[in-house]
Homo-oligomer: A and B are copies of this chain.
């Protein structure tokens, strides 16, 4: 297993990412090569800092970074020597099996789409995010790669999300739903209604429309929507979860009695915190491209990077993209040509 890790573009600089690489090398002996892509001097300094001398590490110098300020396509066109492009090219040239980056999401999507091309039959890639609930976890896609979609794209997201849920999350028969403004079949837009009609033609365990109320109720394992809606929903969930946690903390710290109670009940909160930990998956896969591409959180620290590398290597190991290619070919045969 050969991993290309873009060490630039994260919120906390290259050192924490390099430290994540060190953790991954320690815990994952399936890794045969780990390419650290970015500014060579900074990488050398980072490796020295964390005392990593693993011979599987290869440094690939890149002089530029696509930052949050760059418009994605502009960045990819102008910054030919950017770390994300160099990392993607390692996969394109057959030198690496997977890419992980915590840089500008749009930049990753653009670089990977342009250089790796889409899996045959897939028209748009999708970012899949795994969201934990009390009783299950669900895959939400697309979380922002493809803002304007047609029904066939949502069908492909449904297929890819279902495969991800099965092969990576171990859900046996993932319940797939189209996110809409109500569960009734007449609800929705032309896009969601068209997508629902297509999903019914497949072997997916399709449960029809799902609405916001279903998300945290263990009613669905794969939630399908366009990248505009998905990005809003994902960020709303993150924002509310953080907001509620901070609010509860503030209230618990307001007087000694409450503080004492909170201390006694601490394990309850710790359990939930662990389950909701965004670092557990470390990142979100970009599905539908010829290569395993994972977007790590911008704020990812070492453990998150290590986990992103672990999940990426599982995708490679499980030949996820080969399964996607086959299943997409199958559903494309079943849908009417004009869809």
Q: Which residues of A contact B (CB under 8 A)?
A: 71, 133-134, 144, 147-148, 179-182, 186, 188-189, 211-217, 225, 227-229, 231-244, 246-248, 250-252, 254, 257-258, 260-269, 271-272
What's the least CB distance linking A214 to chain B, in Å?
7
Q: Is A252's CB under 8 angstroms from B231's CB?
A: no
Q: Is A240's CB under 8 angstroms from B238's CB?
A: no
Copies in the complex: 2
Q: Is B248's CB under 8 angstroms from A258's CB?
A: no
Q: A133-B243, A243-B216 are in contact. Are A264 and B271 (CB under 8 A)?
A: no
Within the complex, which residue of B71, B232, B261 is in contact with A261, where a contact is CB–CB below 8 Å?
Answer: B261
Q: Is B211's CB under 8 angstroms from A232's CB?
A: yes
Give 6 CB contacts A-B under 8 Å: A144-B181, A147-B189, A211-B232, A213-B235, A252-B265, A261-B265
Q: Is B181's CB under 8 angstroms from A227's CB?
A: yes
Q: Is A180's CB under 8 angstroms from B232's CB?
A: yes
- Known: A134-B246, A212-B235; 20 extra A-B contacts, CB below 8 A, are A133-B243, A133-B247, A147-B181, A148-B189, A181-B228, A211-B231, A212-B233, A213-B238, A216-B239, A216-B244, A217-B239, A217-B243, A233-B236, A244-B244, A248-B248, A248-B272, A258-B264, A260-B261, A261-B262, A261-B263
- A211 / chain B contacts, CB cutoff of 8 Å: 231-232, 235
What's the least CB distance linking A284 to chain B, in Å?
14
- A148 / chain B contacts, CB cutoff of 8 Å: 189
